[in-house]
Amino acid sequence: MNPDALIGLLAEPERLRVAAALVLGARTAADIAEATGLDARRVENSLRRLRSAGLVVTDGSGLRLREELFKEATRVDQANRAQEDPFVRDGRLVKLPAQRGRRRAVLEQVSTAFEPGRRYPERDVVDVLKRWCDGGEVDHVTVRRYLVDEGLLSRDAGVYWRTGGPVSV
């Protein structure tokens, strides 16, 4: 199971409560209802979704949360991060990819250091980018130019603001 699927399953508060009850020892739907305060219908709806995703199974002792899937999701996440290692390590930009699509993806990651809607004086942008570039093969001036060229940052009269890239919700 990948990390996004796991997080998606547990993003619903009722499913999260059901999962927590299972981790804490509940083995039946009645145990879960008692531990969570949810009514039987809500418990069953949550269990149905968690079972269909493979996160909850029934074994000899009753219902069980497959806790091993969390370790598996961590391994998947680490493997995915390892794919980025040639360019970004420990929050530092090691180098920029030559291929535009890959470079754009790395620059989008860098752009998340800037808060959407906030205006930054040039010296603040320089400070942020110097931290990203510390110890890497690329200088902060180049990264700033690429961020502007790619429409991830905009500038006017020495003031910058974020105009692109992913936004956490």
Q: In the chain, what are the domain boundaries?
A: 3-71, 86-162
pLDDT value of position 148: 96
Q: For residue range 104-122, what is the model confidence (pLDDT) as tens digits?
A: 999 998 999 999 889 999 9
Lowest-confidence pick of 34-38, 80-84, 85-89, 138-142: 80-84
Helix (H, G, I), strand (E, B) or coil at 89: strand
Q: Is residue 56 a contact partner of residue 49, using CB atoms and an 8 Å limit?
A: no
Please give the CATH number for the structural domain made up of 3-71.
Answer: 1.10.10.10
Cα–Cα distances (Å) from 156 to 122, 141, 148, 153, in that order, read 10, 16, 11, 10
pLDDT at site 82 = 52
> Around Cβ 137, how many Cβ atoms within 10 Å?
10
Reported as a pLDDT band with limits 50, 70 and 90, residue 169 is low
Dihedral, CA of residue 129, residue 130, residue 135 and residue 141, to nearest 10: 70
The pTM of the whole model exceeds 0.75: no
